[in-house]
Amino acid sequence: MNDSWNQLFEECSACTACELHKTRTNCVFGTGSRTADILFVGEAPGENEDKTGTPFVGRAGQLLDKYLFAVDIPRESVYIANILKCRPPKNRDPLPAEEDACIEFLRRQVRLIQPKIIVCLGRISAMRLLKPDFKITKEHGEWFEKGNFLITAVYHPALLLRDPRKKEDMLVDMKKIKERLDQIKEKTTV
């Protein structure tokens, strides 16, 4: 199938594949550059994201913005999406069946964007995109090669709000991501 952004967005907005469509205000499809080298993947929309239809705009999103700014990666230059496109009630963890119902939208976004680097924001995203037994405390900042992509995982910004001691690790990981990005860009420019 020759997929298109419009088609994907329309399908996603009309999706009723799991119960979460009943309580959503907006489908939180994704935002950013459709030709991005980096794709950030969070867990699921929260209250502010559900209201606005845009991922990572609440407190966690504002913290993510600070890290992107700190390592000189403009937010508009990356693509940001989530494993789930609809908000789970009271921000509970996604259910496996909800992830299964939704993951094809993310796969199609990945095929359209063809990013060089995928960054999992938090453990839920890493467990889905890297491996089910991923341990974020031990394995954050490590690089994995999967198909055409390099994948890494960093702490979820919401966790950093609850546990600021992890912020130093986050900055180190984000700097490593920027280094990799610069290396990739060097290789592709003559």
Name which of 46 and 115 has its Cβ closer to ligand URA: 46
Return the structure tokens found at 152: 């890494």
Hey, which bits of 62-167 come out as E strands?
Answer: 79-82, 117-121, 144-146, 149-154
Does residue 30 bind ligand URA (CB under 6 A)?
A: no
Name which of 56 and 105 has its Cβ closer to ligand URA: 56
Smallest distance from the beta carbon of 49 to ligand URA, in angstroms? 4
Q: How many residues touch ligand URA (CB under 6 A)?
A: 13
Integer Cα distance of 119 and 143 in angstroms: 10
Range in contact with ligand URA (rule: CB under 6 A) among 2-10, 57-65, 101-109, 133-141:
57-65
Window 138 to 167, contacts with ligand URA (CB under 6 A): 158
Q: What is the amino acid identity at position 6?
A: N
Does residue 99 bind ligand URA (CB under 6 A)?
A: no
Smallest distance from the beta carbon of 161 to ligand URA, in angstroms? 11
Residue whose structure tokens are 């020759």: 2
Name which of 59 and 185 has its Cβ closer to ligand URA: 59
Question: Using the rule CB under 6 A, which residue among 30, 32, 45, 94 binds ligand URA?
Answer: 45
Integer Cα distance of 31 and 80 in angstroms: 5
How many other C-beta atoms lie within 10 A of the C-beta of residue 6? Answer: 8
Q: Strand pairing of 31-32 and 79-82?
A: antiparallel
Q: Strand pairing of 31-32 and 38-42?
A: unpaired
Integer Cα distance of 35 and 24 in angstroms: 28
Question: Using the rule CB under 6 A, which residue among 30, 32, 55, 88 binds ligand URA?
Answer: 55
Binding region for ligand URA (CB under 6 A): 42-46, 49, 55-56, 58, 60-61, 82, 158
